[in-house]
Structure 1
Amino acid sequence: MRGGDTVVVLGAGGIGTRAIQGARINGAAQIVAIDPVEFKQKSAYLFGATHGAGSISEAMALVRELTHGVMADSVLVSPSLITADDVRDALRLTRKGGTCVLAGMTSQLTRSVNIDLQEFILMNKTLAGTIFGSCNPRADIARLAGLYQSGQLQLDEMITRRYRLDDINAAYTDLLNGDIVRGIIDFTI
């Protein structure tokens, strides 16, 4: 993504929140966070989202309005579990010549997606997958550490709850229920 872009992030959990920060740091003009959990929608603003939506249909109308019908330059898909519908909808949010990146996991049962292939080709869209943000540790870790030290990359703020090791099951439950952005096991408590 580049400065001035319109970026949509589907899923405002840990991965999505990092993507929102990446978009902000890289100068995106508009960052739309989509999440059905109101807490995560609201927390997305703390990390750089300029707009929020609770559903794809709400986001579709919002992005259409914000871009005067052009749609988003980049769409990052990072819900807790990517579905075939998420991919289809994310491509609908992506503008001509835009990029849609899948950054979450799918069910092992999800083997294919249905997309309008002719529209995909004629609109010159790019669909890509990534793991760990396609990070190059040798080049990127030092840069990310610098962004963290300068306060631009907010990692501590993403931790919404600390758990004792004995409470690990509660941590997983909170994560599955969407009650936290990121939780950590803290051995000092």
Structure 2
Amino acid sequence: MKPSPPPDYLAGYPEELVAPVRRLIAEQRLGDVLRRKYPAAHEVRTDRALYDYVQDLRGQYLRNGAQVSKVAFDSKMHVLRNALGTHTTIARVQGGKLKAKREICVASVFREMPPEFLRMIVVHELAHLKESGHDRHFYQLCRHMEPAYHQLEFDVRVYLSHLAAGGAALWAPEERDQGGNPTASMGESCGTFARQ
């Protein structure tokens, strides 16, 4: 059985945007270009920190939007669902009433990315609290929360193409021993945090 090719994260983009990316991948220079444009990773590493980050953005832009009861990084999302983030509504019966809870999961690949990339995926999932589809209103809301939304989405896809081509993770934090020397890369864990 022939292995399936890596996903084409840049499918649908015009050739004049994709060709330079392919050239940089072939020349093994794409990582350097991305590191110059986005030099540092964000500090949101835990589900609790991600929850607080999402709530801050929601409070800033969607005060009247639905509450989010759970936010988590998900280490299996990208592989299993071919998605980078999800938003779900869970309906539960409590007493005689039907209560809906909103949840947002973000692929754990975003744990080790620049703050701009994390903001892009969180803005995308928050926009789904008001707009279910990917239509004009949805993208207007995304641009309201993050004016550079479309450029950031393209750059995330460029980075994912870099990874799919065998490129190294660019913003992976290093663990350090007691002497401050780098050790092996941090392991990935997926927990959940739910606010009751």
TM-score (norm 2): 0.26
Who wins on radius of gyration, i.e. which is larger?
A: 2
